[in-house]
Amino acid sequence: MNDVLKIYLESGLLDIGDDDNRLSLLEKAAADLAERFKAEPREALYHALTLYSTSPSATDASFLEAGAALGNHWSTYRNRFKADPREILKPISFRALQIATSVNGELELSLGYLLRTVPKLSNPTREQVVLDNFAKELDDKALDRWAISADGYDPVPSISAPTVSKVERGSIAAAIAIAAGPQDAQGQPVTGANPNWPQGSAAWTSEFGKQLSEVLAGNIEQAFLRFAKEVQKEVNKSIVTTNSRLDNQSSVVRRTQLLWWEKSRFSSRFRKPYSEMPKPLCLLAMVVDFYEISGNVTPYSAEYLLRKTIEAVCGNDALKNSDLIETGKVSVNELFGKLPIKFDERLGAQTLVESIIGSGSVVANAKGRKADASAPAQQALRIFNELQALALADDAREETK
DSSP states along 343-361: ----SS---HHHHHHSSPP
Q: Do residue 261 and residue 392 come from a single domain?
A: yes
Same domain, 236 and 281: no
User: CB–CB of 115/48 below 8 Å?
Assistant: yes
Same-domain pairing of 221 and 271: no
Query: With contact defined as beta carbons under 8 Å apart, do 383 and 328 qualify?
Result: no
Question: Which of 217, 250, 283 represents a domain boundary (last residue)?
Answer: 250
* Mean pLDDT confidence for 365-390: 77
Q: How confident is the model at residue 37, as a pLDDT?
A: 94
pTM more than 0.75: no
Question: Is residue 263 in a domain?
Answer: yes
Smallest Cα–Cα separation from 385: which of 117, 166, 173, 161?
117
Q: Report the 10 Å Cβ neighbour count for 110.
A: 29
Q: DSSP letter at 368?
A: T
If pLDDT is split at 50, 70 and 90, which confidence band does 242 have? low
Query: How far, CA to CA in Å, does 220 sit from each of 188, 213, 225, 314, 369?
Result: 29, 10, 9, 72, 74
Residue 317 burial (10 A CB sphere; 0-12, 13-18, 19+): exposed
Report yes or no on 152 lying in a domain.
no
Give the pLDDT confidence score for residue 184 in this predicted structure.
65
Distance CA 328, CA 314 (A): 16
Q: What distance in Å separates the CA atoms of residue 51 and residue 86, rounded to the nearest whole number? A: 10
Tell me, yes or no, whether 128 and 181 share the same domain. no
Q: How far apart are CA 370 and CA 274, in angstroms?
A: 28
| Residue 82 Cα to chain centre, angstroms | 38
Residues 260 and 394 in one domain: yes
- Which pLDDT does position 367 carry in this prediction? 38
In this structure, are 51 and 81 located in the same domain? yes
Average pLDDT over residues 278-295: 93
- Residue 273 backbone dihedrals phi, psi, to 5 degrees: -65, 150
Considering the domain boundaries, does residue 357 fall inside one?
yes
In sequence order, the β-bridge partners of residue 373 are 320
Residue 196 lies in a domain: yes
Question: How far lies 314's CA from each of 119, 282, 311, 335, 395, in Å?
Answer: 22, 8, 5, 18, 32
How does pLDDT run across 53-103, given as a tens digit for each residue? 877 888 888 999 999 999 999 998 888 887 678 888 999 999 999 999 988
Same domain for 290 and 272: yes
Name the helix (H) or strand (E) containing 272: strand 272-273
Counted residue by residue, the chain has a size of 401
Say if 154 falls within a structural domain: no
Last residue of some domain: 212, 228, 250? 250
Which residue range is the domain that position 244 belongs to? 169-250
Structural domain contains residue 113: yes
What is the band of 145 on the pLDDT scale with cuts at 50, 70, 90?
A: low
| 106 within 8 A of 392, measured Cβ to Cβ | yes
**307 and 264 both lie in a single domain:** yes
Q: Following DSSP, what letter does each residue of 204-234 receive, concatenated?
A: HHHHHHHHHHHHHHHHHHHHHHHHHHHHHHH
Residue type, 116: R
One domain, residues 29 and 115? yes
Residues 6+ apart with CB under 8 A from 233: 162
pLDDT score, position 360: 43
302 is a domain residue: yes
Do 258 and 390 reside in the same domain of the chain?
A: yes
Tally the domains of the chain.
Answer: 3
Query: Which residues make beta-bridge pairs with 267?
Result: 272
Coil, strand, or helix at residue 134? helix
Same domain for 246 and 260? no
Do 286 and 352 fall within a single domain? yes
Asked if residue 261 is part of any domain, the answer here is: yes
Q: Which of 123-127, 276-280, 304-308, 359-363 has the lowest mean pLDDT?
A: 359-363
Instruction: Report the pLDDT value the prediction gives residue 121, as an integer from 0 to 100.
Output: 60
